A and B are shown apart, each in its own frame.
Chain A
Amino acid sequence: MFRSTSDRLLLGLLRCVSALAAAVVMLIVIFLVIESWPALRSVGPLRFFTDPSWHPASAAGGGAGRFNLIPMLIGTLASTAGAVMLATPLGIASALFCRFYAPKRIATGYRRLLELLTGIPSVVFGLWGLLVLAPLIRQWHPPGQSLLAGVLILTVMILPTVALLSESSLNSVPRAYLRGAAALGLSRWATIRGVVLPAARGGIVTAVLLATGRAIGETMAVLMVAGNVVQVPHSVFDPVRTLTANIALELGYAMDIHRSALFVSGLVLMMMLAALIGLAEWIGGGRMNA
């Protein structure tokens, strides 16, 4: 394929590195399947969604464990959906502000700030949420540690992702479109709504989906503020437990089938993320190939 030795060497090296990256993902999936296999075999996949409650530890004592993941699944979905619904308009608005309205100096500073926000460890967000946000919510409606607190913390965490990726998508809109729109006498907002947003749509959707992935996977901050009661929430003020928090909370003492059941929830998370990436590929694919 290549005549020069250095090209062949580089090719070999790149192949090895790519294979390594792919192998890591495959190994994680295989590991998850192997670890969750005992639970899947003895409990059966169906009972994870139909059991009356989540009492997996009683199986270890010889009793009949209960393995309903639905409350945690709903906890994850509700906190993620809430955060995405709040962060998407805010993120896109920030990106538009940065790209089209802010003076250059302010835009640069603002961008740095968002970049910094992405780098803050989630435990710091969690600490702030626990000490500041949850008490504020408690004043409004007890108990404070709640789905709402989880949603707000996740919103702050994924907002910079949405904003920065959306902005890079806005930046990739060809200048020829902007010049064309200006030459037609379109106002800035008309240009944004009619030309820029349609042109950047694929990139913005990808940004939102990546942020969604982050929200689904986020563990520590949500664990610290959401209350972690295994229940289907009836209002945003009810405490909830997410799938990720469930694993983190119980893995330390889980044995046998209980332990294996936690890996099942890991597998469920993995499948949700795979579906999300598939969706991102499907929506964003056309744009990236173009």
Chain B
Amino acid sequence: MNAQNTTEVIRPWAQRGPCCETSETCIEVQNLSVHYHGKQALGGVDLTIPRGCITAVVGPSGCGKSTFLNCLNRMTDMIPGCRVAGSVRLMGQDITQSDTDLISLRRRVGMIFQKPNPFPLSIRKNLTFALKHHGMKRRSDRDEAAKNALRSVGLWEEVKDRLDAPALELSGGQQQRLCLARALVLKPQVLLLDEPSSSLDPVASGVVEDLISQLRGRYTLVIVTHNLAQARRIADHVAVFWTRNGSGQLIETGSVSQVFDSPRHELTATYISGLRG
């Protein structure tokens, strides 16, 4: 039994964000391949990610979903022995070049991890620290930005009286929302989410999922998820990854209804019907 299904009953359903404009391309991936220590982990990925939409990346474990996500903000650089080939264009600019400014790239492309990872600092500092580093000089400006970010993830009312308490005292769901706020406070264009609700309890998971849904239109979101029901609920587009010959590949991509209702690829059909993967 899937954890998400139990929460659908109690979740307010009307909270889908504004519609995305599918006309404009935000990220264009061409012939992307990734090798770890010479072994191919991902190969030949061509994918267009439309601006302002939620694109879900689904597939069985080990099919390169997270690897793909890590290419979009060059987190692959932190993995020893990892080599990326092909091109990833963010608003037309190829970010796989070695002269790409990683600091500004990662400001534009935020990331949320599977396990909430707030820093061992106060709630306030978690949000203001990066702002200060990125040159927001005035303390009042930073505090205001932090407040807005906390409001946008629905955490302000819960923590406004204890902003200087350690962030690690928050519950798992609150921590993940704080991480979301921490990414949003930098006003990114793209948010990458790596199974953002899979380590949370069903209720907290539902809250985070709704939040993500509300970000549609304002940000371009790419979400990796194991949870097909979740992908179906929140995504506009779906990319299905599969392992072939030991390497991850993109086997099908399209709108949610297209992939779920009339899959073109045989493997997709068996995967979404729960027969494989």
Contact = CB atoms under 8 A, between A and B. Distances in A.
A184 interface: yes
Interface size band for B: 20 to 34
Interface string A181-203: 11111110010001100110000
A195 B113 CA distance: 17
Contacts of A179: 75, 78, 113, 117
A178 B119 CA distance: 9
A120 interface: no
Interface string B82-111: 000000000000000000001111110011
B40 to A, nearest CB: 23
A113 B130 CA distance: 36
Contact of B117 (A174, A187, A198): A174
A271 to B, nearest CB: 34
Contacts of B165: none
Given A179-B75, A180-B179, A184-B183, A198 B110 contact: no
A184 B102 contact: no
Given A176-B117, A179-B117, A198-B121, A185 B134 contact: yes
B113 A187 contact: no
A185 B105 contact: yes
Contacts of A183: 73, 75, 106, 110-111, 113, 183
Contacts of B106: 182-185
5 contacts: A176-B113, A180-B119, A183-B73, A184-B110, A199-B119
B186 interface: yes
Contacts of B105: 185
Contacts of A185: 102-107, 130, 134, 186
A177 interface: yes
A199 B118 CA distance: 11
Interface string B195-227: 000000000000000000000000000000000
Nearest to A199: B120
Nearest to A176: B117
B68 to A, nearest CB: 16
Interface residues of A, number: 18
A186 B133 contact: yes
A50 to B, nearest CB: 47
Interface of A: 174, 176-187, 190, 194-195, 198-199
B250 to A, nearest CB: 23
Contacts of B36: none
B119 A182 contact: no
B117 A194 contact: no
B35 interface: no
A190 B113 CA distance: 20
A184 B182 contact: yes
B133 A198 contact: no
A238 to B, nearest CB: 44
A283 to B, nearest CB: 15
B115 interface: yes
A180 to B, nearest CB: 4
A183 B192 CA distance: 10
A184 B120 CA distance: 15
B113 A180 contact: yes
Nearest to B102: A185
Given A184-B106, A185-B186, 20 more contacts: A174-B117, A176-B115, A177-B117, A177-B119, A178-B78, A180-B118, A180-B182, A183-B75, A184-B182, A185-B102, A185-B104, A185-B106, A186-B103, A194-B119, A194-B121, A194-B133, A195-B119, A195-B120, A195-B121, A199-B119
A185 B129 CA distance: 12
B130 to A, nearest CB: 4
